Amino acid sequence: MEVSVGGKSIGLDCNSGEVSFLSHAHGDHVSGFKKKERIIASEETLALAGFGAERHSEEWIQLLDAGHILGSRQMYAELDGESVLYTGDFRVKNGIFGKGAAAKEADRLVVECTYGDPRFKLPDPFEVYSQIGKWVKENSGSIMLIGAYNLGKAQEIIRVLNEYSSIVPVVMQESERFSSVYAKYGIGLERAVVGTPEAEEVMKGGFVAIVPPKLANRGFARKLGDAFGRRALCAVATGWVMSMRHNADAAFPLSDHADFYDIVGYMDAVNPKRVDFVHGDGTHLEKKLQQKLGK
């Protein structure tokens, strides 16, 4: 989508405006860019997206942490007495890599609402990290598969396993490309890439592997268990476990997005005159907002 501030148009996670802003490197946001030059984004985002290093900037546009994945930023633009804040994907709660997104007052807010339904009340990430640590400890000696998206969630779980369980997980090539960018920006992640001698060594005993979500199911775990002659379990780690059943032995409600209640608190702090909801269904939030405005 496109917003305009003080007569200038800005493409939000797309090329369409006079200037374009890329909030973070997840595929559904990167795919809005045909041209890869003159993009306003963090250096980390351009590196993860595989775009050139040429960053664009505008004095009237400010980037703020979004607490989502490495390099994720919110955008605040102010020009000729008008202001707009766009969250991109954001997490308000603090996580293992640092602080959550902070709000900034603006006239207009464009907010993502992936979990914009009141039935989503996600626990504190640190509670979920402990749950993961406990599950891994209880099943030590087994093979444990944890399903996680290759960018963001995989790195978060690698760090959780390093810190909470002193475990070096086995990781797939697909997530390794992103983990190496995390490492380049100073985020150390102890991991063993499948196919390397190090991973082979790790896989001689019970081990934890971080796999794409589609592989974290009981059928695949059973096959793997048969092949290795060891009990194999699988788990998923996503906010969607709050609303959907999963074919897994454990389900961890770990999300790098704000939940309904986070978004409501965040909207209060931004105190905008106008709100647009993107990436989800904003119906419930819209209702909440109208109640607040007494309409």
Residues making contact with Zn ion (CB under 5 A):
26, 89
CB of 94 to Zn ion, least distance (A): 18
Q: How far apart are CA 95 and CA 198, in angstroms?
A: 29
Cα distances (angstroms) measured from residue 44 to each of 18, 73, 182, 216? 23, 10, 8, 28
Angle at 250 between CA 245 and CA 255, to 5 degrees: 75
Q: How far is the CB of 51 from Zn ion (least distance, A)?
A: 16
Least distance to Zn ion from the beta carbon of 229, Å? 39
Q: Are 68 and 89 in contact (CB under 8 A)?
A: yes
CB of 90 to Zn ion, least distance (A): 9
- The answer to whether 95 and 71 are in contact (CB under 8 A) is no
Range list of H helices, the chain? 27-30, 43-49, 125-138, 153-165, 173-184, 197-202, 218-228, 260-270, 283-293
Which CB, 78 or 89, lies closer to Zn ion? 89
Query: In terms of CB distance, is 179 or 217 closer to Zn ion?
Result: 179
Report the nearest approach of Zn ion to the CB of residue 238 (Å).
12
Identity of the residue, 139 or 238, whose beta carbon is nearer to Zn ion in the bound complex: 238
Calpha distance 132→155 (Å, rounded): 14
Element (H, E) at 273: none
| Cβ closest to Zn ion, residue 181 vs residue 209 | 181
Beta carbon nearer to Zn ion, 118 or 280? 280
Is residue 112 within 8 A of residue 88, CB to CB? The reply is yes
Cβ of residue 236: shortest distance to Zn ion, in angstroms? 17
43/294 Cα distance (integer angstroms): 42
Of residues 97 and 220, the one with the C-beta less far from Zn ion = 97
